[in-house]
Amino acid sequence: MSLHKDVPPTRSLLRHAHPHAAKPGGNLGNFHCASTRSLLPSKSQFIIFLLSLDQLTVTMRAHRSVSVLEVALLVLLACSQQCSSTYLLPPEFSQHNGTLYAACKVRPSASLADDLPNVYGQVLFKQDQAQGKLQVLLQLTGFPTDESPQPRAVHIHQYGDLSQGCTSTGGHYNPYGVHHPNHPGDFGNFVANEGRIGERIESEATLFVGLSVLGRAVVVHETVDDLGQGGDAGSLLHGNAGRRLACCVIGMSSSNLWDELS
């Protein structure tokens, strides 16, 4: 499909307006568009975009002459808006060859009761490409050194708000509106060994695009997660995992910590 007879086809305009704008994965300033199929606009969306652009050109021609450069700028603006709202990736994506890293520095809750342990540590994240599995590394200390330590639940919570300690992080991050333990940040239960937890797991959560867990919180709980088998409403919300011992906010990071601790 092409525009008015005096205006080159859209693909040519894209190449004319910006050398990478017509290519999936092209660089726009300090950002990159994802080349994964799941992040690209659908065929119908692209056709609607072309029809709208064609109509816009005809309308402009009715009022004044339209140069190739003017239409090219319009195309670039429209594509930039589409890309920024759908699949723009941060500069770290190219800096780390398609991998994103994140870190979360765990500290005891500001509202922690005196009888609960003070838990410290790191939760680190690594994801290769948007379609790759999220790798999570938990390094936590401060648990009691009992002979029979109890499992502790760890989850991602909705808000990166520590203004009231771990209480203000809200409930589980649940973008799909499903029951626990099917939330993407339901990491499960971990048993401390000599007061420490050191585990590496895979998660259904992501660091990429709209459902990214960046800016959300990791919460370490007092007791075991019943994994939705408790038979009550709380079990399907949070696994009845007890009080919140410690938490942190997930932020973008370099690869340094991951390389050091993994």
CA gyration radius for the chain?
A: 24
3-state DSSP call for residue 260? helix
The answer to whether 248 and 158 are in contact (CB under 8 A) is no
Q: Is the peptide bond before 184 cis (omega within 30 degrees of 0)?
A: no
Predicted pLDDT at 130: 94
Cα 6 off chain centre by: 44
The parts of the chain modelled with pLDDT lower than 70 are: 1-87
| Sole residue written with tokens 């429209």 | 78
Q: Report how far apart, in Å, the C-alpha atoms of 250 and of each of 41, 71, 123, 190 are.
A: 28, 42, 8, 20
Q: What is the pLDDT of residue 194?
A: 95
Report whether 107 contacts 248 (CB < 8 A): yes
- For residue 81, which phi and psi values (nearest 5 degrees)? -65, -40
Q: What are phi and psi of 233, to 5 degrees?
A: -65, -40
- Are 102 and 251 spatial neighbours (Cβ–Cβ below 8 Å)? yes
Could you give the 3-state DSSP secondary structure of residue 197?
strand
Record the tokens describing residue 261, joined without a space: 């601790």
Question: Which pLDDT value is given to residue 56?
Answer: 56
Q: Whole-structure pTM over 0.75, yes or no?
A: no
The predicted structure's pLDDT at residue 25: 45
Q: What is the model's pLDDT at position 79?
A: 56
Query: Domains of the chain: which residue ranges?
Result: 10-89, 96-261
- Whole-angstrom Cα distance, residue 88 to residue 85? 7
Give the Cα separation of 6 and 185 in Å (integer): 53
Cα(126)–Cα(20) distance, integer angstroms: 28
Distance CA 81, CA 70 (A): 17
**Residues annotated as part of the active site:** 155, 157, 172, 180, 183, 186, 221, 244
The pLDDT of residue 124: 98
The CATH number of 96-261 is: 2.60.40.200
